[in-house]
Structure 1
Amino acid sequence: MSIIKQPLLFAGSLGEKHLYTLYDSGANLSCINPEYLENLENPTQLGRIRMMGTAAEGHYIEVTQRVSLDFYMDDVLLSDEFLVIPGLSEEAIIGAATMQKWRIKLDFEHDTAIVDPKVAKMQLV
């Protein structure tokens, strides 16, 4: 199993910050560790609490907040919602739904993630 991590620039209403980001095609949704939200963005409460399953069988984490953030890949501005996960082992995780939305491809041979150049052109319209 290959793992791809890259530093990405995240931007919120309070500022910008580089976060070491894991691309995880096994995770449906994107998430962020709350420790890295200071001076970046204020989270909002979820309408309903979500119980998220972990890799440990039968272990769940209660998720009560989310945050909308912009992030940059190869100077292409992207954005999405990130669930705020207490105790998350990574600074940020880009999940499968975000990868599909922005046509992000994982290149395990070169240990990198690639954003489709057409995405940048779509934003100019």
Structure 2
Amino acid sequence: MRRVRAAEGEDHPHTVEDMIALAKLYVRQRRMEEAEPLLLESMKRLREAALGGGGSLLLVCMDSLAGVYVEQEKLEEAEPLLLESIAKCRELLGDHHPNTLSKMTQLAVLYYKKGKRGEAEAGKPRMWIR
């Protein structure tokens, strides 16, 4: 990651991608305290520079950070990230895309953990088999 930073700069998309990849590795290793600052910094850079159009890379970062927050029981911090992620997924992929539905399910689980069962039920994606 240092080489990429030195060669391409702090705000280059490859630098941010590497930061997110390292954070995701930390998440897999259950090292949430180390993943969180990397994801926060990545998200800040993506939002400020609109790197990659703020599209899919930002979604990956937001989803990872929301997952870290849920694991740390920081549910209040996770909720706005999931809501924004759902809105972006709907905009980019549509209401019935598997990624959109997955995020809606994550939000329903979050609401359930917060004791908001009515919102959890209302927020669950509805899937019909034809």
- With the shorter chain as reference, the TM-score category is under 0.3
Q: Which has the larger radius of gyration?
A: 2
Larger strand fraction of residues: 1
Normalising by the residue count of structure 2, what TM-score does the alignment of the two structures yield? 0.26
Of structures 1 and 2, the one with the larger relative CO (CA 8 A, separation 6+) is 1
